[in-house]
Structures are given as structure tokens and as C-alpha cells.
Amino acid sequence: MAVSAQRARGSSPETWRNLRVALVFLLPWLIGMLGLWLIPTGLSLYFSFTDYTGAIWPPHWIGLDNFRAMFDGTDPDFNTTLGVTAWWVFLSVPIGLAASLGLALLLNMRVRGIGIYRTIFFIPSLVPFVGSSLLFLWLLNPQYGLVNQFLGLMHLPQLGWFTDPTWAKPGLLLQSVWASGATIIIFLAGLQSVPEELVEAASLDGAGRLSRFWHVTLPLLTPTIFFNLILGMINAFQYFAQAFVVSTIASAGAGSGGGSGEVGGPAGSTLFFSLHIYDQAFQQGNVGYASAMAWGLVVVVAAITLVVVGTSGRWVHYAS
Amino acid sequence: MLARSGSNEAPLTETPQQQRTAQLHRRALQRQRAKVIGRHLLLVLVALPFIIPFYWLLISSFKTNAELLNLPPTFWPHPWTLQDVRSAVGVSGFWDYVRNTAYITLFNVIATVVSSAIIAYPFARIRFPGRDAMFVLVLITLILPPWTTLIPTYYLYKWIGWLGTLRPVTWPALTGNSFFIFLLRQFMMTIPYDLSDAARMDGCSDYRIFYHVILPLIKPALATTALFTFLWTYNDFFNPLIFLNDPSNYTLSLGVYQFVVNHGIANTGAIMAYSLILTVPPIILFFFTQRTMIKGVTMSGLKF
């Protein structure tokens, strides 16, 4: 009886009615899927095999030349952009995560008024990218900036920051740590879900503060670290707005004349992958080549994500 | 013996043991207090680098351009001036930017909430052939970097004549946002199915179930969607930079960037005042929606 009812439901009239109703609900999504995903993805694949410049239609088919150009030296900036992006993904992401975790540990202490401290750490993340980029251009101004004045006061060397190829990326890292409130809050939530009995039990067993953190808290926090790592790396590969604003303005010089400077400057030191794609696609008119690089980015992001997910079984502990 | 100090028959003079207990007690208290003070000192020390840039943004917006170049820098404007705020508001096109930003943000919030909820409903509540495959597509669009579709999308907009209008940064919201489709679907799946089955027995259509049963129950998730769509759209620099070519269509974020590009960074006061104005709306929103915002961040890793 139940089986026949099931079968009756699975058969035509109701299934078709459901599909019809569902498609009505899905209509806006289907339009977006077609117009904003399927057609653009197809076009993008097509562009990557052509020398399309954005002007002459139809573009000229050049096979794999765009993909070869990344590696055979046709694009002298490609190795630069790989190095800059690798620095950002493999150095700044771990540093940023460690800093956020440290701050979350501080914010997890039990003192009165901790809510005020939490607000202080969270609020910078609400400053719009352009605003925080302009603020850090001012704070890290080599001559008048507050940070260099402070360094001078401490008898430390004053730095060129966004005008110095060595210090431009660390400057961006400072800005990104300053605005990492969301990551801190996610870590804090992770810390608060660590059962206190476990930490206390370890304490009774004579474990010191460091060993409690290392052997109890940290393993229980690995799911949160994993989550932040994946999100952080995916975002790092696509890092754009801050570097774009800072590099184009800083390299335009301090004069009142203005003008847009070098994308990814100084000397290509902040030429992140997405900045290079933008520059090639929208400023140099190498639309085909930029599309090929975009596909390269997709492949690399997918590969690295799979590697991190694949190795996660070895270091991420899920409470059963 | 040692623990006797609190007994009822308190003697007039304390025995040596009692004195020692009291002393130990006092020391423990002192240690406790030192610990609390130490913790606050540590917190203040670490909080300073976070709050000082903010303070600097504030006071730089009220210093004269001459004072901004003072060495060593001053920590309190003397005198306070409104000249920077006036120059920021006086940037040509400023009020156009405000209007555009308000329109784009409002459009995106309303369109995203409505369309994402409508799209999430069948994924959560209707059984239909091809549902799982379609949902995998939603997840793929969620993960895929936007760069591949972005370049051709620019040319598509160019060919249909949308460049030079606000449509490229508004109309796409009508087709839903993958992230919020996912979020709202998860929420809708937590609502007991008996509820909609009962309504269906009574002859309710899916449209009415969606509107009268499901929507009222997912209000918190809709609020999260609205809040984060606001923050993302307001904050967005990338899409306006690529799709808004006509200066009369610029947003506040793009406007300040173009202002600096056109006039250089010499006018620091005006630039800081503009950045401060840009920062005020999200901060005000934070103080009104703190709980929703923090919950949204911790629940789903929403970032902005």
C-alpha cells in the first residue's frame, strides 16, 4: 500500500506538477545561470584561445599561444606576479591567521569590559576597503606618516613602505591584519566552544599553560583553523581592491598633479595575480591573454584547495 | 585548624595562626588583583594599534592642511577645522555619488533578499527531478573565482548597451546570490515538513506556503541576508571600477579613488574627511545590528 502510494507519487502527474512549480520559483536563477554564468564561461574559454583585444570581432584563433605566453617569457611580468601572489598566499595568510588567533586568545580572557575590547578589534573590519587603503597610505607615508614617526622615536630605521618594493607587501599585510576582525571573531567563537572541563582536567593533571594550549585547545580548534585557512587562501588568490588602490596611488607620486600610477607598483612588488589580469584585460587590451590567465587562476585555486582539503584528515580533529 | 578563622566565637585577639591565614588571604587577593590589572594592561597595549589608526582618521579629518604636515605630528587638532569636511563634500559629483550609492545598495539589498529566498524555496521544500544537479551548480558558482566570467560579462554588457548605466551593478542581484541561496536553503530545511504538508492537505499552493508559512519563519536569516548584502554592496570597489565608466554613475568608494587619482594625495585633509564619511554608515549600522552581525560572522564565516 505504502509502496504503491510512493510509486504513485513518483509517477507523472505530481512529479510534473512539482517540476513546473519549481521552475517558476527558479526562473530568476535560470536566467542568471544562463546570462551571467554559462554564456560568459563559454565566451571566456573561447577568448582564452584567441588574441581578442576587445575591438575586432570575430577574434583571431591562436590555439594555445596564450597559455604558452605565460611560461615562455613572452609576458615578462608573469613570473613576478606568481612570486607576489605566492608570497601573499603562503606567507601572509599564515601570519595573518596566527595574529588573529593570538588576538582571539586575548579576547577570550575573563576580565570585566571584555566586550569593549572585542568591539575595538572588530570595528576596523567595517571600514570600506578604499577608506582603509587611503588611511594606511597616510599612516605609512614615508615622510609624514605616524608609523615612521613612531619608528624614528624608537630609534628604528624609517621605512619607505608603499614606495619601497621590499616593504610594500608588508604594508598591505599590516592593513589586512588591522582589518581582520571577522577572522578574530570566528576564532573566538571556536575558542568558546572548547569544553572547559577538558582544559581543567589537563590542568589538574599538571599541564602548564603552554602545554594546555598546545595539547588541548589547539587540536580542538583545528576545524576553525581549517575553515579560516581555506577561506583565507581562496581570498588571498583574488586579493585586489586594497593592492589596486594603494599601488596606483602610491606610485603616482606625492605631487598634486595626480594621475594613476603603475598597477602593482612599485617595481611590480604588489602585482598580485588579479591585478595583472585586470591590467591585461582592461588597460593593455590583451583580453584573450587575460582570459587564459583567469583560467590558470581557477586551476591553481582548485588544485591548492584540493590539496589542503586532502591533507586535512591528518591534522583536523573533529570531535565525535 | 587553619580554616577556623571564620568561626562563630570570634576571639578579641587573633591567634598567630589566624593572623597567618588572614595574611595568606590578603596575598591571594593581591595576586588576583595584579593578575586582573596585568590582563587589562596587555589588552590595552594590543588594542592601541587597532584604535590609533581609527583615531588618526578622525583627527586628520579636522586638522588644517598645514598642521597635517607638522613634525612631530600633533595628537590633538589645533585648531579644529571643518575645512576638510567641506572640501570632501565639495568634491565635484559628491552628491551624485551619495545618490548612486544609496540607489545601488538599496536595490541590491531588496533584490537579493527577495530573489534568493524565492530561489532557495524549491531547493529546500519541493521534490523535483534534477534538483540535486542544479544545486551542485549553485555550489560551483559559489566557489568559482569571478575572474573567468567577469571579462566576457563586461563585453556582454557593452554589446547590449548597459555600460554607462547603473544596470551592471544592480540588475544581476535579481537573479539571486549563490551564497544566500545556500544559506536560506539550509534555514528552510530546518522547518518541520509536517507544517507545509498540513497546509498542502488544506489545498494550499506552494506559492502560498512560501509566502505564509516559510517566509515568516526565516525572518532572522532574511535579516542576515539584508545586512551582509548591504555591507558587501556598500563596500564594493571592484564591480563599480570595472562596470561604471561614466563619472556621473560613480559610487562613493569609486568617487574618492578617482578624486585622489585626479588631484593627487597632497590634499590629505580632504581625503581623510572623505574616508571618514565613507566609514560612518557601516559603523552606525554595526551599533544597531551588533547581534545579527556577529552571529552572521560566526555562523557562516561571512566576511566583508
SS3 A61: strand
Model pLDDT, residue A1: 39
Cα B2 to Cα B15: distance, rounded to the nearest angstrom? 11
Model pLDDT, residue B304: 53
Q: Which amino acid is at B124?
A: A
The answer, yes or no, to whether residue A57 has pLDDT greater than 90, is: no
DSSP labels for B44-61?
Answer: HHHHHHHHHHHHHHHHHT
Is A128 in Cβ contact with B237 (below 8 Å)? yes
Cα A310 to Cα A307: distance, rounded to the nearest angstrom? 5
| From B138, B262, B301, residue closest to A258, measured CB to CB | B262
- The string of pLDDT tens digits covering residues A6-49 is 444 445 788 888 899 999 999 999 999 999 999 999 999 999 99
Percent of chain A's residues with pLDDT above 70: 93
The stretches in chain B having pLDDT less than 70 are 1-14, 300-304
Nearest in space to A237 (alpha carbons), one of A170, A302, A179:
A302
Model pLDDT, residue A259: 55
pLDDT band at A2 (very low <50, low <70, confident <90, very high): very low
| From A117, A122, A294, residue closest to B147, measured CB to CB | A294
Model pLDDT, residue B2: 43
Nearest in space to B228 (alpha carbons), one of B186, B150, B289:
B289
Tell me the pTM.
Answer: 0.88
CATH class of the structural domain B85-300? mainly alpha
- Max CA distance (Å), chain B: 98
Q: Is there a contact between A84 and A77 (Cβ–Cβ < 8 Å)?
A: no
Rg (CA), chain B: 29
The answer, yes or no, to whether residue A113 has pLDDT greater than 90, is: no
b or e along A164-180 (b: 16 or more beta carbons within 10 Å of the residue's beta carbon)?
A: beebbbbbbbbbbbbbb
| From B43, B131, B260, residue closest to A106, measured CB to CB | B43
Model pLDDT, residue A8: 47
Model pLDDT, residue B71: 82
Q: What is the interface pTM, i.e. ipTM, of the complex?
A: 0.87
Residues of A in contact with B35 (CB under 8 A): none
Nearest in space to B207 (alpha carbons), one of A189, A20, A2, A312:
A20
CATH number of A67-315: 1.10.3720.10
Model pLDDT, residue A14: 82
Q: What residue spans define the domains of chain A?
A: 2-48, 67-315
Model pLDDT, residue A318: 76
Residues of B in contact with A221 (CB under 8 A): none
Name the closest residue on chain A to residue B116, using Cα atoms: A29
Phi, psi of B144 (to 5 degrees): -60, 130
Is B261 in Cβ contact with A121 (below 8 Å)? no
Neighbours of B256 (CB within 10 A): 28
HSE-up of B86 (CA within 13 Å, CB side)?
A: 7
Q: What residue spans define the domains of chain B?
A: 2-60, 85-300
